[in-house]
Every structure is written in C-alpha cells, then in structure tokens.
Amino acid sequence: MIIDEKFKPVADLFFEQGAMAPAGGSALSIWQNGKEVLNIFQGEQSAGQPWSEKTKQVIFSNTKGLTSIMANQLIEMGFLDPEEKVAHYWPEFAQGGKAEIPVKWILQHKAGLSAVRRDLTLDELLDGHTVIDELAKQEPLWEPGAGHAYHSITFGFLVGKLIHAVTGKTAGEYFQEQIAGPLNIDAWIGLPKSELGNLATLISDDSRQPSNAPVGSAQYWSEKSMTFGGALPASVIGDGIGFNDPRVLEVEMPGINGVMSASAMAKIYSAAVTKTDGIRLLTDYTILKAINPGSFGQSVWGEPAPWATRGLGFMVHVPGSREYTSNQSFGHDGIGSQAAFGDLANKIGFGYTTSYLYPVAPYEMKNQHELIHALQKVLA
C-alpha cells in the first residue's frame, strides 16, 4: 500500500467506508504530478480471499471514460473529426435516417441509439457483430441532436466501431497498444481467459430488478439500454451470470466491461493530464475541447436529477451535482459507486472500485462522492 501523509484524510475515510460495507472489497488510487500518492484496498476479493494489489475487477461504465480517451486521441491526431458525419467513416450507418448524425452526437449520447430496438439473446450480444448490425440499420429512438439519453452499452459499440474504422484495430487492441502497454499496466477491454485469476467477485443486494414497464415507455427504453431485452439481467450481476459470467468479460464491450485495478485506472488518467512514466495521452488543448459541455439537463426519458453533463464522451465537473475536483476535471462513473477521473488543473488521476455494488439512488454514488469531497479538501 501507498499512503502519502497529505492524502491520509482520504485514506481514513476509505477505510471507514470499507468497515461499513456489507460484503466484498474496494480499492482507491490517487496519482498527482505523475506519481502515485495513494494506493489502498480493503475487504475480500472473493469469499475467504483478501483483496490484494493484484486484484482487478470489472469497472463497468468507467470503461466509457477510457474509450473516450482513445476517441479524443484520434481526434487530436486528425483521424476522427467530431463534426464529420458518422457515415463518412462507417457507410452502413446511414440507414434508417441516420446519414446526417455527426461523430460528436455519438460521444455526447445524442444520437438516439441508446438501445437496440430488437430484443437480443446473450449469444447475439456477445457474437461481435449483431449489435453493430442492428445499430447500423435501425431508426433512432428519438430525433438525433434534439435531446440526449445515456447510451449505457451501445456507446462502446458505436465508438468502438469508429475506432476500428479509422485504425483497423478493435477498441481492445488499440487500448493495449496505445494505453495499457505503454503504461505497463494490467488492464483490458476484452479480458483474456488467461487473466481470469485475481478477479473480484461482484456482489449486490438484488435491488435492481425489472419494472415490467409498458413496451415503448420511457422506463422500458431506459431499462432496455442495460439489458438489450433479456441478454443481460436487470440485476446486472448474479451467481455466474451477467458481469460475473466470464463470457461477458472476454468479448469487447468498450462502454461497460473493462477489467483492471483502481491503480491502473488512476494511472491512465494521470497520463492523460501530465507526463506519467514518460507517457502523455492527451494534450491540454484536446482536454479543454473535450470537456466543453455538449449534453446536460434531463434526458429524453425523464430520469430525476442529478443529471450528468457530458463533453466528447467524458462526464465533466458540475458543482453541487456531479463533482470532481476542478472545472478542468473529466472522467466517468461506474455502477455501484465506482469512479475514475483526471484533473488537468491539479494534475490528478483518481480511481475507485468496489465489488459490492451499492443500491440505486440516493445511495449508489454516496461513497465516491464522499471520497471526492475529502480529496477536494486536501487539494484546497
């Protein structure tokens, strides 16, 4: 473990939270100015097996933040243009009235493609082509650009397709070559079978259950964005199902199934905002363009506040609502209270994982919010 004395108040809070956790374990890493100043963990990786520095876990939607780093790298290098039509890179996408959708609307969750219209089986979700085929041919769920809604799982497929279109590499391959490899971290989007060891078992209180909402209703589409109509359980996890099923981790779903440690997540964001182990992933200019708000306020499905504000893929700092540590912070949440972000102003990389997935609002994000507020005080 690493505990820099300056960051001890954050560490103390982390261990207090861990002592109150119903089950599982958690980890927290903070990097500042390219150095790791906090690397702590507690609890169990699985029943009877303590959490260790080698423990890794599914980071859920934190994966979107990492995929957004990749997309913004490609924007920075001139391979992707956020103002260009998606169909310029992916001609099949022009079907169903989508010919005019620009790349930025994909990154801002404004493309009207938050779910696949057709119900899919698990095999179809995992086969590597059905989701992309369905998204290419279907009509949007709402008028693109006129509103936004969280593209829970489709975000990764859509951005992953763009990455492949301009690089010839899958998102997982690009991630290994341009991020995980250079930073010398154990991190994957599409987990090799050989890396299933030291994987934390995910645990929940089963509070996430289907609402059986009327077909076509706002709640129906909101839930379908996470289940694809039965391919994944509404509970997200279970005994050997959902994201505790190795098959779900072995395929590439670049919006939802990254696997790594809190330290690896934090190191990536550190390298995004400052040179870390000689690596810088994004320029200041790229970050400032990427965190310009593109979608904000209530979504087309009418979920209650607090609402996320997003730039080009990233969630951004909103005082009093979705907070990080400065107005130059950017990252993403993950289900159950996980979080990862970078802060250009304070040269911070932050990563928090928990294998116990805390129940839905208002408690789900409580731990990460408390930790971030403690870090704000340290930095102040």
pLDDT reading at 275 higher than 90: yes
**Whole-number Å distance between alpha carbons of 231 and 153:** 12
Cβ-based burial of 77 (10 A; exposed 0-12, middle 13-18, buried ≥19): exposed
Q: For residues 238 and 129, is the Cβ–Cβ distance under 8 A?
A: no
Q: For residues 267 and 187, is the Cβ–Cβ distance under 8 A?
A: no
pLDDT value of residue 298:
94
Cβ-based burial of 376 (10 A; exposed 0-12, middle 13-18, buried ≥19): middle
Instruction: Specify the higher pLDDT residue, 359 or 166.
Output: 166
Span 295-318, average pLDDT = 93
pLDDT tens for 153-194 read 999 999 999 999 999 999 999 999 999 999 999 999 999 999
CATH superfamily of 2-379: DD-peptidase/beta-lactamase superfamily (3.40.710.10)
Give the ranges where 90-199 is alpha helix by DSSP (H).
103-107, 122-126, 130-137, 154-167, 171-175, 181-183
3-state secondary structure of 178: helix
Place of tokens 């330290």: 263
The model's pTM: 0.97
**Whole-number Å distance between alpha carbons of 168 and 171:** 10
Span 15-33, average pLDDT = 97
pLDDT confidence bin for 305, thresholds 50/70/90:
confident
Three-state SS annotation for 321-378: CCCCCCCCEEEEEECCCEEEEEECCCCEEEEEEECEECCCCCCCCHHHHHHHHHHHHH
**Whole-number Å distance between alpha carbons of 124 and 171:** 19
Tokens of 22: 């119903």
Tokens of 198: 């030291």
pLDDT reading at 217 higher than 80: yes
pLDDT value of residue 206:
81
pLDDT reading at 363 higher than 80: no
Q: For residues 29 and 351, is the Cβ–Cβ distance under 8 A?
A: yes
Span 60-74, average pLDDT = 98
pLDDT reading at 289 higher than 70: yes
Tokens of 324: 């990080």
Q: For residues 116 and 131, is the Cβ–Cβ distance under 8 A?
A: yes
Give strand pairing partners of 41. Answer: 27
pLDDT tens for 106-154 read 999 999 999 999 999 999 999 999 999 999 999 999 999 999 999 999 9
Taking the CA atoms of residue 83, residue 86, residue 89 and residue 91 in that order, the dihedral angle to the nearest 10 degrees is: -140
Cβ-based burial of 290 (10 A; exposed 0-12, middle 13-18, buried ≥19): buried
pLDDT reading at 359 higher than 90: no
